[in-house]
Amino acid sequence: YHPDKQEAGVAAAQAEERARRFLEIHQAWKILGNEETKREYDLQQREDNLTKEWPLHEQIYLEDMSWNEDEQLYTLSCRCGGNYSVSKSESKDVSVVCCDTCSLVIEIL
């Protein structure tokens, strides 16, 4: 798909499609090649997948979760006996958290 690798005499529509595809691949490499942007991308993908596939147990405000100063972790007990946990550093980026024992999910408002 690289523009420098195109064959001569390719139809304009095909050349345009290849150029578009090259730009998509280039953008993906920029995101996935940087540790911080890859982490943000992975979190967003995980959140999107969780909200589509897993049952939402409840919506809760972060300040309603218990705070553990030593572990720098917000937690909430699940009805199954497990816990929902989110670290302080993740709390700004994550809005969906899954239970560590069952398939229930909470949304952090």
Structure confidence by residue, pLDDT tens digits, 18-36: 889 989 999 999 988 998 8
What percent of the chain is predicted at pLDDT more than 70? 91
Tokens of 22: 């090259």
Report the percent of the chain where pLDDT is more than 90. Answer: 22
Pull the structure tokens for residue 82.
């497990």
Where does the pLDDT of residue 54 fall: very low under 50, low under 70, confident under 90, or very high at 90 and above? Answer: low
Residue-range domain boundaries for the chain: 12-51, 56-108
CATH of 56-108, one of 1.10.10.10, 3.10.660.10, 1.10.287.80, 1.10.3720.10: 3.10.660.10
81: pLDDT confidence band, cut at 50, 70 and 90?
Answer: very high
Residue 74 pLDDT greater than 90, yes or no: yes
CA dihedral 101, 105, 108, 109 (to 10 degrees): -160
Q: What is the pTM of this model?
A: 0.50
Q: How confident is the model at residue 1 (pLDDT cuts 50, 70, 90)?
A: low
